[in-house]
Structure 1
Amino acid sequence: MDTTAKRYGRRGTIRGRTALHVATVGAALLLAGVAAGPANAVDRPVTAAEQQQPAPGIMAARSTHVTLVNLTDRVWTFGQASLRQGMWSSRLPEFIAPYSAGEWGTESNGVMTGTEAQASYSTENGPVEVRWSNPFVGSNSYGCRVPSGYSCQRTGGPGDNASVTFEVRRV
């Protein structure tokens, strides 16, 4: 009989019981997904620091997820964006294709703060501009300005971690 198996692998010995306990607890932690270290890092690709962005709304007191829907037959090109309060949690798309949507977000980044920003896209008839404010205290507010011949309809937007959709179409 192998003495190693007898000394370490048998349940009747202290070392055997300890090894079995460690293996059982380790397997349970791995199955639960709570193990620390390199094993957990595998599911996310490594990116440069300037490309890393926080996940929207996870740690922020206030966040706004914006969806701008282009219900026209023309491509829209990113114009400009400004952030008065908070930080960008995801990048704005360079283009919004016909009959599709662009999505991005902002979130608060300080104690008892909110987020406020605006973004615009160029169309053949002028810019489409959307604005949002999700303050720490008070009600959320939204705005949409479109060129003549277009209409904008907003849906959603309440709550601390808001999601708002602007649908823009020709009239």
Structure 2
Amino acid sequence: MSARSTVVKFQNNSGNTLFLDPASINLIHGEWVTYPPEKIPDGQTGQWESDSDGFMTGTEGQLQYQFADSGGIENVRLYWDNPYIGNNGYSITVSAAGYKVGYEGGVGDNATVTFYVKQE
């Protein structure tokens, strides 16, 4: 087992299918164990994992999923950071009004965090 790993789960209750934006993928530190899915249908949960790949390192990454809304193409951006030293950090934002985003969990050296997007 790696010194640090993060399993990311992303629950989609947006009413839309989410499509991964390949150009947005940035694994800043670490390596992929499981790559993010290309799409997450409404009502489904996507999952991926990254872990550390060096001595005294962590894992950190960011990406975005997109969906079509009445306002055009919208973005949901996710960020995770599980450093070797210090606290874990996470964020999720959505570009469209009418949606709620957040996350739960994500504690520990080998963490699991669950992000979500849902209609308000």
TM-score by shorter chain over 0.5: yes
1:124-165 Cα shifts (integer Å, max 9, x gaps): 141111100000000000000112221112110000000000
Is 2:5 the counterpart of 1:95?
no
What are structure 2's unaligned runs of at least 5 residues? none
Which residue pairs with 1:127 in the alignment? 75
Which residue pairs with 2:8 in the alignment? 66
For residue 162 of structure 1, the aligned residue among 105, 111, 115 is 111
The structure richer in strand per residue is 2
For residues 69 and 119 of structure 1, the distance between their equivalents in structure 2, rounded to whole angstroms, comes to 15
TM-score (norm: length of structure 2): 0.90
* Count of matched residue positions in the alignment of Structure 1 and Structure 2: 113
Structure with higher Rg: it is: 1
Once the two structures are aligned, what percentage of the paired residues are identical? 38
Contact 2:15 2:118 in 1 (8 A): no
For residues 83 and 91 of structure 1, the distance between their equivalents in structure 2, rounded to whole angstroms, comes to 11
Q: Which 4+ runs in 1 deviate beyond 4 A?
A: none
For residue 19 of structure 2, the aligned residue among 53, 72, 77 is 77
1:10-47 Cα shifts (integer Å, max 9, x gaps): xxxxxxxxxxxxxxxxxxxxxxxxxxxxxxxxxxxxxx
What are structure 1's unaligned runs of at least 5 residues? 1-57
Q: Which structure has the higher relative contact order (CA within 8 Å, separation 6+)?
A: 2
Contact 2:14 2:99 in 1 (8 A): no
The structure richer in helix per residue is 1
Deviation at 1:119, TM superposition (A): 1.6
TM-score (norm: length of structure 1): 0.64
